[in-house]
Each structure stands twice: as structure tokens, then as C-alpha cells.
Amino acid sequence: MTTPALSLDKLNKSFGPAKIINDVSLDIAPGERHAIIGPNGAGKSTLFNLISGLYTPTSGTVSLHGQDISDMPPHEINKLGLSRSFQVSNIFTNMTVRENVRCGVLHSMGQGYAWWRNIGSNKAVQQKTWEVLEHCSLADKANVPAALLPYADQRALEIAITIAGGADVILLDEPTAGMSHSETARAVDLIRRASEGKTLVIVEHDMGVIFDLADRISVLVYGEIIATDKPEGIRGNAAVREAYLGDEALPEEVTA
Amino acid sequence: METIVFGLLNGVSYGLLLFMLSSGLTLIFSMMGVLNFAHASFYMLGAYFAFTITGSTSFWIALFIAPVLVGLVGALVERYGLRKVHANGHVAELLFTFGLAYLIEEVVKIVYGKTAVDYRVPDLLNFAAFEIYGATFPAYRIFVIFIAIAMLVGLWFLLKRTRAGLIIQAALTHPHMVGHLGHNVPFIFMTVFGIGCALAGLAGLMAGNIFVTDPAMAVQMGPIVFVVVVVGGIGSLEGAFLASLLIGLLQNFAVGINASFAEIFAFTGLSPTSEVGDITISSLAPVLPFLLLVLMLIFRPQGLMGEQEL
Amino acid sequence: MSDATQTFQNLAPSAGAKFRQRTLPILIFAACLAAIPMVGPSRTFYTIAHQMGINIVFALSYNMILGKGGLLSFGHAVYFGFGGYVAMHAMNWIEDGSGLWAGFPVFFLPLVGFAGGALAGAIIGWPSCRKAGTTFAMISLGVAELVFAAAFMFDSFFGGEQGISGDRMNGVELFGLSMGPISEVYWFIAFWTVVGLVGMWAFTRTPLGKLSEATRDNAQRVQFIGYNPQRVRYLVFIFAGGFAGLAGGMAAVNYEIFTPDAMSLVPSGFVLIMAYVGGITYFVGPIFGAILLTYMQSMLSDFTEAWLLYLGVLFIAIVMFAPRGIAGIVFGIWDGLRGSNPGQYIAGLLMKLAGILLMLIGLIVLVEVSVRWSNGYGEVYEPFGMHLGHQNVLSWLIIVVTAVAGVALTRYASKDKEAA
């Protein structure tokens, strides 16, 4: 077996007496599209914060390509090739769309904290920025201030910044939350293209999106993973049905 | 022994004055997130109002009227100034109060002149309370301690025993939640701002005749009040109380110590004629609060008793 | 999808637009500076112009951290002061002619100032830049108080209350400038003002400059694109300190004396006001602010002793009603004139201006009458031959009527605009 792209081993996180994440272990293979579902308050966002370095685990480890990243600050983890998006649009509001994406590109192009170069004269950075914008269908809005973008485009920009650095493990936190049907379809298309050849971990409430995208699904309930399986297996899992009873029904048949 | 007793007495009375000033700022800062730069300007207004009222009537009337007047000015400033700026964020609010401090100082200079006014301790209290080690302790300082303790008890009662106090307490730690409870948040803010300013005014009334009542008194006191609030911790009146006493004692004790660095660090062979060796502890007294502030922010950003980091 | 022939360069502004928006204004600014001596300005003019140049660089350096970095500092004069003091000492070393300094031209002292300011920024910034917001503001205030107090303890560096003085007419002459007469110092100030301006403008165009803006907008997100926001802030802080030191070095050569007062809270507050009044969201904002406030400082203080009161009113008015500063007002008017209905816009604008003017008249009369009343020398405010004493009913009538009319007119104008 190859080294998993992302591996969680007996991960725990407590805030005071409250145990939010309880003994979570999970291996995600390179190239896998993995979805995490669960009722509200199950700890999905906390799990993302643990993986991406915003929180430090109380115990247990997170490994990226076999390297322990549990105690690293977020920017170090990002440099190792893990990138994440946020549930609430978390963009640079006073900059244009192009500048937003360019900031995301900078690090991977070896620009570091350079103060001796002109940002506009680096062809490679411009080229990559343009590619990402084009990829996310944002090229025609390149010079619009990010704060003035419509909601769906802000979400697309959120994903654009996340993938701009070329990370090979991508964490998306509810990328389609609050979107209309057609917008969701567009977003799923974008996510599918963006995660081509990469490892994707996605938290999502829209079951249509999940069953459409994911190779495997983990169900998180009260901080514990109660099941990890292929979509068909999850649909037939009794424990999962019980956990979801009265919350939101799993779709019987998924039409993409 | 003499230094210790007097350092203690002066430190406590000064510390209590500081608390009178900083309790209001702690309330305002914790609830509204506004570090009111002009807080010490309201302290100055308290002293000047007291001077005017004392001149035409008596100190005892001023004791009641001056803080109320200052509180009203504060409430007006909140209603017609700060509230408008609120939408532009905390930096704008901070800058507004920064400009306000400038403005109040200039207006005071025009109305009362640039030099100190003759605001004195009332005759009734102008005697020595007791004498120890051949030095006297003024009765007025005892009076200050009493008023401060009365205020402390009053504030405690208001916060812990009244309904309004409960709302204010809730707003201290969870400023966003209170609005959902259906309370008129802008009105609460205005009231708290007014009360905070009134307390500052009271402190000015008490301190103006111990120290000097001049247009520079706000600038001198302002930064110290910040130190108290930050060192004490956000949302914590207890912290502000501790920090006030701590700084009051620290400064008063330091003033009394004439030892120089050369004497203290003699074992290192520091020469008394060198610049570092020549520094005395007493000359450091004015900067100690700021040293405390910087160290506190670096090593313990939540302050002595605060729960959130700044 | 755009067609395949489109290249990535189309996203950036065209070369022509770049020249118009970026290079041209700087060229015009430099040309103006070069043209000024030709009209044979007075000594007073030179004095004020030099102060303006110094303040432009100082205010721009302040805006590197406030406007572009989102860090509110109450102690920026510390770096100005360190730069100035280091330059002052260097000036004296040049005079002594000791070692390497013998060959160092006075003309390049601002570089020494830059190094001094940057070094101070590197030392003080280390503990200060870990947090933004109120924590940063409070540390800057505490540090400013500490440094100011320390300035009176270490006389060998700060020179005590007298400060340190020197003589700029020493060392190697550059460009045929003896640096003696004020008209020669002008070239020195003009040169370094342009260097500072271009340098700071260029800084905004670097990856670090852009990251600084990103960190201001959203420090959390910066972490997730691979950058440490603390390090970004720290590096920017060093540069801001350096450019403040450059301004300090200019001041050292211009005044030939530096005192601890130059690093107190007063100049720190003044630079904050300059940058904010000018407009911190625009690169050029602080330049407007520096020019206006330096002018007010030197001219208005001759006319009225209450000039600080006017400054306070101006500052509060900007904070409350025009948070984007003078630059925001200027660009707003420019946009309005080019908008869909310039005629209506001009009408509204004029009405507002008239309202503001009325309020201003009321304010001035009130302040000037009060100042003279307060002084008690029996002096009377006499604008345009009027005799406005505090016992004169006319004075108070003017104050009340203009103030009320002004407020009413401005309110009407803004309501009118909203309705339109």
C-alpha cells in the first residue's frame, strides 16, 4: 500500500471539558475524492481546522504524505502542499479578483516575501494567475473588486485562491452552501475540474453533490466517525440512517 | 518604615483614583470595543467643572453636580459622535476619540486659559488627619479613599444586584448577544458611556485639587489609564481594580527609592558615573507603567484577569 | 469561455494606462519640484517647502503600516527620531573626518537615517508585530512613552533637552552643492522626497507590498496561502521604520539639530492626523495631508493661536463625514464630474460647499471671539473692518445664523442627492 496522502491517527480535540473530536482515524489515498458528512455540530469544521493547522490537536496525529504536521502552523502546512477553503467566504475584500488569485499564486512561484521585485513583471506569475482565473471562469471579472462580486462568484474565488498555490491535497468546506441549483451545478463542475489528479476532502450538506463527487464518504457524528465507505455502502448503512433520522434524509436515488 | 507606610497610603489613594478613572473605561472598552482616547479628557473636564462650581457655590455641591454634567457631555458625545462613526469600524472610533481629546484640550485652553487654575481642597478637609514619623497625612486623601470605596460599593451593587447591571455584565463578555435579547443596545451603550465619563469626571474632581488642574492633565493621565485597562484585562473590573492598585503602589514606591542602577547592580561592576549606572529607580517611576504595559502585552495579552486576548 | 487568442497580459492594465496612472503623476510631481526654484521663491517659502518634503515622506511611511498594513501606530515618530539621530551623529562624524566617514557626502545622510530607522523598526517591531489591531496600537503607545523617557536618560546619544546639533557644510560636496544656502538644501530635499515617494510606490508593487494589503484585509487567509502574517507585518514594519528614518535624516540635514521632542507622542499624533486627513486608502492621500497640514501648521499658527482647535475640528470632521480623506473627496468630485449627470452634481456640490463655508464662518467667528475674550487683553476680532467683540450682539448673531444656515443647507444638499 502506498503512503496515504492524508492520514489521521486517533485524533482528539477538546475545548475545556467539551470533547469535539473523539478518536478519529482516517486514511485518504492520493487522488481520492473523500467527503465528510454529518449533522450540524458534528465537528466537521473543527476537523478541518485541526488538519489545516488552525487548531492543535489535544492528542493524536495528522500526517501529510507520511509527514507529521500536527503541531505545524498553517502556513508551514500550506507550503507542504495542503490548501483549504472556508465555509464563510474568506477573501481579500479590498483587492481585485486578479490580485486575490495572484496572492494565492505567489508562494508556489517562489516569490517568498520578496521586496526587491516588481510583482507585475513576472511572466510566470501572470501566466499562472490567468490560468487559475480562466479555470474558475473568473477571467472576465478579473479587475472587479472582490467585495463587489456576487455571492456565487465569491465562492468560486474562494476555491480559486485555494487551488492557486497548486497544492495536491485540497480541503473544501461547504463549497456550495447557500447556492442556487444552477450555481451548485457550476460549482460541482468547477470542483471536479480543480481536483483533477489531486486529493480532495470535502465537507458538504448537499447530498446530491456528495454522492455525485465522492469516491468514499465518512460520516461524522458527535465527533466520531461512525462509518467510512463507498457511496453505495453508506446509503445502505443502518447506523448512518439512524444518525440522520429526523435530520435530513439520504436521497434514495441521486440524479446528477 | 516611613517610606513604606507613606508609599502604601499614597499608593492606595492614587490607585483608587486610577480605578475610578479606569472602571469607566473598562466598561466602555469591554462592551463597545472602543478604547476611548478621550477618557482622560473627561477626567479633566470633571476637575474644571468642579473648579467652576466650587467658585460660585461650594465643593460639596460640585461633588454631586460636576460628575453628572461630565456624564451628560459623555452621553451627548456618544449619541451624536461615536454612534455615527461606529459603522466605520473600531479604528475609526479610536481615531474619533483621539481627535476628541485634541478638541477638548483646546476648548479648555480657550475657556479656562493655558495655565493652571486655582482649584483647592475644601477648607473643611484641609487639615492633617494624623501624624506618623513626624510627617502628616492630609485628611483630604482619606476622604478620597472613602469616596472611592463608596463608589466601588455602589458600582458593585449596580452590577451585581440590579437588572440593568446583569444586562451590562452580559454585554461585557458577550457584546453581540445582548441585542438578541431584545434590549435597546444603543441606549445601553449611551448610558454606559455616560456613566463611565461621569466616573472619570468624579476622579477629576477628586484629583484636580491634589495634583494640578491644567490643560495638560488629560495628556498626562490618559496613557496611564490605558495601561490599567490593558493590564487588568478586558471585561474585568476586578482586573482593573488590581491593576490600579498595582500601578498606584508601584509608582509611589518607586518615587521613594533613590537607589541607582550602579548601587543595585554593584556586583556587576557597573560604574556609578556611567549613563546606565546613573539611572535611579525614582527617575524610572513615570515609565514603569509603560514597561508593564509592553511586557504584559507581549507575555500575557489577556491581562491579569481578562478572559479574552486583546 | 474567452477565445483562445486572448493572452494573460490582457488582464493587467495596458502599458499606456500604466504610464498615465503611474509614471506620469510622478514625472509631473518631479517636474513641479524642479520648476519651483525658477520663480525665485522667498526664504519663508523654502522653509515651508522643506518641511512639506520631510512630512510627505514621513506621512507616506506612516501609511505603509496604517493604510496598506492595517496597523494603527501611536509611536511612528520613534523611527523618524532614530533615523534623525543616527544621521545627526553621522553628520558630526563627517565633520570630525574620522575614518570612512571622511569620504561620506552629507547629501547621502538620509540613507544613514533609513538604516537607523529600519534598525529601530527591526528591534522594536519584533515584539510588536505579532498581533494587529488594538494590541499593536497599545504596544506602539507604550514603546513611544518608553523611548521618549529613555531619551532623557541617555544623553550621549540623545543629547538631553538641548538635543544634538551639527553642521551640514562638511565632507564631500556632491552635484556642486555646498549645502549652505537654503536654496541649495532645496535640491537635497526635493531629491530625497522624490526618492522616498518612488521607493514607497515601488514597494506597493512588490510581492511583499501586496501581501501586506492581503494581511490587512484578512490575516487568517494569508496563513492558508503559505505566508506567515506576523512575518509579513514585521518586514513591512521595518521598511516603514526605514522610510520614517529617511525623513528623519532629511530633517537632520535641514535643521542641523535634533531634540528628543522629535520622537515624542506629539509628532506621532501629527503624522497620524496628516495621513488620515489626506486619506489612507489612497497612496497619494498622505501627500495631500502632509502638504495641507504643514501649510496649516506654519501659516495658520501665525494668524490664530487656536489653530490646533481648527486642526482637531478638521480631523473629527474627516473621521465622521469623509473617512476616505481629502484624496477621497478629490477623487469623488472627479468621478461625480465625469458621472452621468454632471450639472446636477455640480449644483449639489456647490450647495454643500456653501453650507460648509457658512458653518466654517460661524466656527471661526465663535473661536476667534472666544479666544480674545478668554485672553482678556481687550483685543477685538476685526475681520473685514467689522468690530466683533464678545459683548457685541452682532458677533453672536453671526455665529448662530451662519451655523444654523450651514447645517440646514448641507443637510438639504445631502438629502437632495439621496433622493436623486
Q: In CATH, what number is assigned to the domain containing residue A177?
A: 3.40.50.300
pLDDT digits (tens, 9 = 90+) for C216-261: 888 888 888 888 888 999 999 999 999 999 999 999 989 888 988 8
Nearest CB neighbour to C374, from listed B113, B287, B301: B113
pLDDT of residue B163: 78
In total, the C-beta contacts within 8 angstroms joining chain B to chain C are 115
Q: Is A162 in the same domain as A174?
A: no
Q: Is A172 in the same domain as A256?
A: yes
C402: confidence class by pLDDT, cuts 50, 70, 90:
confident
Per-chain mean pLDDT for chain C: 83
DSSP-assigned letters across all residues of B226-246 = HHHHHHH-TT-HHHHHHHHHH
Give the number of C-alpha atoms closer than 13 A to the C-alpha of residue B95, restricted to the C-beta side: 34
B123: confidence class by pLDDT, cuts 50, 70, 90:
confident
d(CA C114, CA C189) in angstroms, rounded, equals 15
Q: Is residue A194 part of a domain?
A: no
- Contact between C353 and C379 under an 8 Å Cβ cutoff? The reply is no
Q: Is A39 in the same domain as A9?
A: yes
All structural domains of chain B, each given as residue ranges with its CATH number in brackets, are 2-299 (1.10.3470)
pLDDT of residue C34: 81
Q: Is A59 in the same domain as A142?
A: no
Q: Is A65 in the same domain as A104?
A: no
Q: Is residue A67 part of a domain?
A: yes
d(CA A250, CA A231) in angstroms, rounded, equals 11
Q: Is residue A128 part of a domain?
A: yes
pLDDT of residue B310: 55
Query: Of C123, C113, C107, C122, which is closest to residue C243 (Cα–Cα)?
Result: C113
Whether B226 and C138 lie within 8 Å, measured CB to CB:
yes
Q: Is A77 in the same domain as A1?
A: yes
Neighbours of chain C (3+ CB pairs under 8 A): A, B
Nearest CB neighbour to C214, from listed A86, A103, A113: A103
Q: Does C207 touch chain A (CB under 8 A)?
A: yes
Extract the C-alpha cell encoding B79. Answer: 449619541
| Whether the predicted pLDDT of A140 surpasses 90 | no
Q: Is A122 in the same domain as A181?
A: no
Q: Is residue A104 part of a domain?
A: yes
Q: Is residue A193 part of a domain?
A: no
For range C189-200, the mean pLDDT: 91
CB contact residues (below 8 A), chain A span 37-76, against chain C: 52-54, 73-75
DSSP-assigned letters across all residues of C272-301 = HHHHHHH-TTSSSHHHHHHHHHHHIIIIIH
Whether B102 and C311 lie within 8 Å, measured CB to CB:
yes
Give SS3 for A81.
coil
Q: Is A45 in the same domain as A148?
A: no
pLDDT digits (tens, 9 = 90+) for A21-68: 888 888 888 888 998 888 877 888 888 888 888 888 888 888 888 888
Q: Is residue A47 part of a domain?
A: yes
What's the domain count of chain A?
A: 2
Instruction: Give the burial class of B199: count Cβ atoms within 10 A of its Cβ; 0-12 exposed, 13-18 middle, 19 or more buried.
Output: buried
pLDDT digits (tens, 9 = 90+) for A205-238: 888 888 888 888 888 888 888 888 888 888 877 7
pLDDT of residue B283: 75
Q: What are A164's strand-pairing partners? A: none
Q: Is A129 in the same domain as A227?
A: no
Extract the C-alpha cell encoding B112. Answer: 479656562
Q: Is residue A208 part of a domain?
A: yes
Q: How far, CA to CA in Å, does A232 sit from each of A218, A229, A243, A252, A254?
A: 12, 8, 17, 10, 11
For range C71-79, the mean pLDDT: 91
Whether C208 and A52 lie within 8 Å, measured CB to CB:
no
- Contact between A192 and A114 under an 8 Å Cβ cutoff? The reply is no
| Whether the predicted pLDDT of A251 surpasses 70 | no
CB contact residues (below 8 A), chain C span 71-90, against chain B: 72
Q: Is A6 in the same domain as A72?
A: yes
Max avg pLDDT among A133-147, C28-42, C75-89: C75-89
Backbone angles phi, psi at A63, to 5 degrees: -120, 140
Whether A113 and C211 lie within 8 Å, measured CB to CB:
yes
Q: Is A36 in the same domain as A116?
A: no
Q: Does C367 touch chain B (CB under 8 A)?
A: yes
- Contact between C84 and C258 under an 8 Å Cβ cutoff? The reply is yes
Q: Is A77 in the same domain as A102?
A: no
d(CA C251, CA C189) in angstroms, rounded, equals 9
Q: Where is pLDDT greater, at A52 or C397?
A: A52
pLDDT digits (tens, 9 = 90+) for B270-294: 666 666 777 777 777 778 888 888 8
Indicate the Cα dihedral angle A86, B93, C311, C190, nearest 10°: -20
Domain span at residue A62 reads 1-81+168-187+201-256
For range C94-122, the mean pLDDT: 86
d(CA B70, CA B63) in angstroms, rounded, equals 12
Percent of chain B with pLDDT over 70: 86
B62 alpha carbon, distance to own chain's centre: 19
Q: What are A35's strand-pairing partners? A: A202, A217
CB contact residues (below 8 A), chain B span 9-38, against chain C: 35
Q: Is residue A195 part of a domain?
A: no
Q: If you measure CA to CA, which chain A residue comes closest to C231? A: A113
d(CA C290, CA C306) in angstroms, rounded, equals 20
For range C358-380, the mean pLDDT: 78
